[in-house]
Structure 1
Amino acid sequence: MRYLAMMAVALATAGLTLSASAQVVVTIGHSAPLTGPQAANGKDNENGARLAVDELNKSGITVAGQKVTFKLDSEDDQADPKIGVQIAQKLVDSGVFAVLGPYNSGVAIPASRILNAANMPMLTVASNPSLTKQGFKNVFRISASDEQLGGTMGVFAAKTLKARTAAVVDDRTAYGEGVAEQFIKAAKANGVQIVDQEFTTSSATDFLGILTNIKSKNPDVIFFGGYAAQGAPMAKQMRERGIRAKLLGGDGICSADMGKVAGDAASIVYCAQGGVALDKTPAGREFLKKYKAAYSTDIQVYAVSFYDGVKLLADAMVKAGTTTDKTRLIAELAKENYKGVAGTYSFDENGNIKGAPTAVYVIKDGQPVPYEK
């Protein structure tokens, strides 16, 4: 009896439990804003992960001869770096085997230091390039970086929209600042003049002063580095003030929530998402159908990336032959070449996804749809 009790304690510290039938339970952590202005995105990510967990448990996964059941421990980091660090430590202490998230770059960067110290595999869509320049071997970006998202929109502004001038606004978060910097870099390289650069916060909703300044410069496009909670009222206020420019942004504004809040003003929005356009592939269309059936709502942005992330972890666990050894799991993730719904997941030496696809979207009938010239 004492031996069995000791075994139970050892398994619990590794994120595992053992049932009477020798079934191993592996818990995956998830960190995202589940309350506050970005709750729609955080819940979307959680839904994608839960959908994959449910499917894996129904199909049955065996690792090193043991049947595995997956569980998801989803925590609310409120898009706050301080809380995100606390959540990262909580997940480490609870014994999860890997972590999905955080969603926001400003949360993911400090949280990654906690997870790295614990040798915890971390799969995230946080896009600021600084995240994967820290030399951490446990961090894997499962979507496009700011360099790809902002760069895509810089080229799109110049080559497709034929913009000659642009104004840039960012919310001073790690994400907003990073994606704006990459837009500026790509736009300038393609002959676009930056005529104004303004700054706001991730809680602002009144952009009268900023838009008054920008209107006097009469730019062809305005790029906003930030999230839909600010991008949507900005689009509405641009229309109200007669600003003729298109509103461009990265994945932070490329969501159903943007269309829902901005209403008709969302028609001026062009934005980039990482991954393939889901409605353009059979696997993508099937995922959209399954998600809608499970949650009675449409996806926001990255539900599919978190769905793929769970499946990627399971694939790596099977290949590594372990449900306890994080070092072996990290080593296997580093050499993965997993074909998911949103693309193929393989990583460079820094943990960035190789050749991350990006697609440009417009908001139509309240939903992001792939741009077609």
Structure 2
Amino acid sequence: MNSVSQSRRRRLSAAAVLGAIALTATACGGGGGSGEGDTVVIGYTGPLSGGGAAYGENVKIGLEMVIDDLNADGVEVDGNPVTLELKSLDDKYAPSTAASNAQRLADQDKAPVVVSPNAGAIKAIQQINSGRSNFLISAYTSDPAIMQADNPLTMMIPPNFESYADEFSETAMEHGGKKLALLGTESEYGQQWTKSIKDAWSEAGGKIGGDNSVDYATVSDFAGPVSKALSEKPDAIFVGGPSQPTALIMEEARKQGFKGSFLVMDQAKLDEMATVTKIDNLKNSVGVLPVSEYEDPGTKDFLKKFAEKAGEKKVPTSETALNYQGIAIIAKAMEVAGTTDDPEKIREAIGEALPEVDDKYKVNGFPDEITEQGHLLNPNLEATFLDEDGKYTKVPIEQVSDDK
């Protein structure tokens, strides 16, 4: 009575095998992979709608590109193949929404790293990333306050913006004069930049007019603020916010007869602004070096792949290139640490991982070290001066400390 027929034994054996396969697939995470190894989510919270959508999309393109390349090359952690998957959430530049998004990505999607490109959002996320859920913040901001928070699970990617102030001031004075007008954006970040430029300009012996900062996100007619700034007869003007409104402010200043130089904060990109206004309106300006002017081992191939993905008319910015590098560094740190789910070990392994990153991922001033606080440092940081002939001249930048 307890005997089982041979055909039934074969059916039970097949069912057991299929059940084991299903359990294995569930344990490995599934979804977006090749069916082998683990799938690891890279989380991204950024502005994907509203006024900051273009900026947020620039970041997202870089993340998509690097994940495609890493998966094609193959990532192996502790002897196991790993497939990376990007999950993006829109925070519309709202810090509270960004923090909620980051928590969701960490809790629901088990993301060991979350990318954020907004200083206010990063500060909010730093309040939650080493508590109930541990995850590494890949921080795309040049605000030194991010490092001053002493958050053990933060990797800051761009240079500290305060590094630019002295050289920007000296370069602008060389090509103009000593009276500066202020037309930066009214955001918290913009006002930090304004203070840094004011301090550096004064220390260099210059004079500063009134603060005519304007809300770049809501103002569309810049004629009034520009006219007020020009009434002080400045030799140079500090401008900066997103590239599009910054370009329109510079265009308006030229229309009203301004012949002097511009100091352009790092959020705005000269080559991207040249798609909004004539390059003649941008000449005699000091700003961050365009990606196309870098000579890292992977820059040319990166530019080619970017054009294939985004189109020939779209300009690759540092938002795209530096986040491309950043995730390549984190992926290599996972390999070095032998883990995809322990953010502390991944963060600790970044220094050792840097020299192991393949040259193809070095595209925009690749860093050679990470500070104890978590800041990636490029030893040969450069800005640029766009001269009267429309040519870029590189300007060496000495990086300042992140300490208060």
The corresponding residue for 1:46 is 60
User: 2:161 aligned to 146, 161, 182, which one?
Assistant: 146
CA radius of gyration, larger in? 2
The corresponding residue for 1:59 is 73
User: 1:224 aligned to 235, 239, 258, which one?
Assistant: 239
The corresponding residue for 2:125 is 111
Paired with 2:140 and 2:34, the residues of 1 have a C-alpha distance of 37
- 2:50 is paired with a residue whose SS is coil
- 1:253 is paired with a residue whose SS is coil
Paired with 2:293 and 2:279, the residues of 1 have a C-alpha distance of 24
Q: Which one-letter code corresponds to 2:125 in the other structure?
A: A
Map residues 1-373 of structure 1 onto 2, 5 A cutoff: 22-94=36-108, 95-100=110-115, 102-117=116-131, 118-158=133-173, 160-203=174-217, 204-264=219-279, 266-268=281-283, 270-273=285-288, 278-296=293-311, 297-333=314-350, 336-338=353-355, 340-342=362-364, 343-355=366-378, 357-362=381-386, 370-371=392-393
Change (3 A) 1:49 1:177: same
Q: Which one-letter code corresponds to 1:324 in the other structure?
A: D
Change (3 A) 1:108 1:254: same
- Please give the per-residue CA displacement for 1:146-195, whole angstroms capped at 9, x wherever unaligned: 1123344223223x425311112232323212222222222222222222
Change (3 A) 1:318 1:141: same
- 8 Å CA contact 1:105–1:131 kept in 2: the answer is yes
Structure 1: stretches of 5+ with no match in the other structure: none
- 8 Å CA contact 1:228–1:252 kept in 2: the answer is yes
Change (3 A) 1:121 1:329: same
- Please give the per-residue CA displacement for 1:301-320, whole angstroms capped at 9, x wherever unaligned: 32111111111011100000
Change (3 A) 1:234 1:126: same
The Cα shift of 1:252 comes to: 1.2
Q: Which one-letter code corresponds to 1:291 in the other structure?
A: F
- 8 Å CA contact 2:263–2:285 kept in 1: the answer is yes
Change (3 A) 1:62 1:372: closer
Paired with 2:98 and 2:178, the residues of 1 have a C-alpha distance of 40
- 2:61 is paired with a residue whose SS is helix
- 2:126 is paired with a residue whose SS is helix
The Cα shift of 1:259 comes to: 1.8
- 1:317 is paired with a residue whose SS is helix
- 1:324 is paired with a residue whose SS is coil
- Please give the per-residue CA displacement for 1:2-29, whole angstroms capped at 9, x wherever unaligned: 99999877765xxx77989651111101
Q: Which one-letter code corresponds to 2:260 in the other structure?
A: A
- 8 Å CA contact 2:45–2:101 kept in 1: the answer is yes
Structure 2: stretches of 5+ with no match in the other structure: 1-15, 396-404
- Please give the per-residue CA displacement for 1:257-280, whole angstroms capped at 9, x wherever unaligned: 422223355424624337976443
TM-score norm. by structure 2 comes to: 0.80
Paired with 2:265 and 2:206, the residues of 1 have a C-alpha distance of 18
Q: Which one-letter code corresponds to 1:370 in the other structure?
A: Y
Aligned residues: 366
Change (3 A) 1:275 1:316: farther
- 8 Å CA contact 1:125–1:144 kept in 2: the answer is no
TM-score norm. by structure 1 comes to: 0.86
- 8 Å CA contact 1:150–1:181 kept in 2: the answer is no
- Please give the per-residue CA displacement for 1:316-355, whole angstroms capped at 9, x wherever unaligned: 0000001121221122125543463221242212222235
Of stretches 331-340 and 204-213 in structure 1, the one that deviates more from structure 2 is 331-340
- 8 Å CA contact 1:150–1:182 kept in 2: the answer is yes
The Cα shift of 1:244 comes to: 2.6
Change (3 A) 1:81 1:269: farther
- 8 Å CA contact 1:221–1:247 kept in 2: the answer is yes
Q: Which one-letter code corresponds to 2:375 in the other structure?
A: N
- 1:371 is paired with a residue whose SS is strand
The Cα shift of 1:250 comes to: 1.9
Q: Which one-letter code corresponds to 2:86 in the other structure?
A: L
- Please give the per-residue CA displacement for 1:36-89, whole angstroms capped at 9, x wherever unaligned: 333222212211111111111111121101001111112222223233223222
Change (3 A) 1:353 1:178: farther
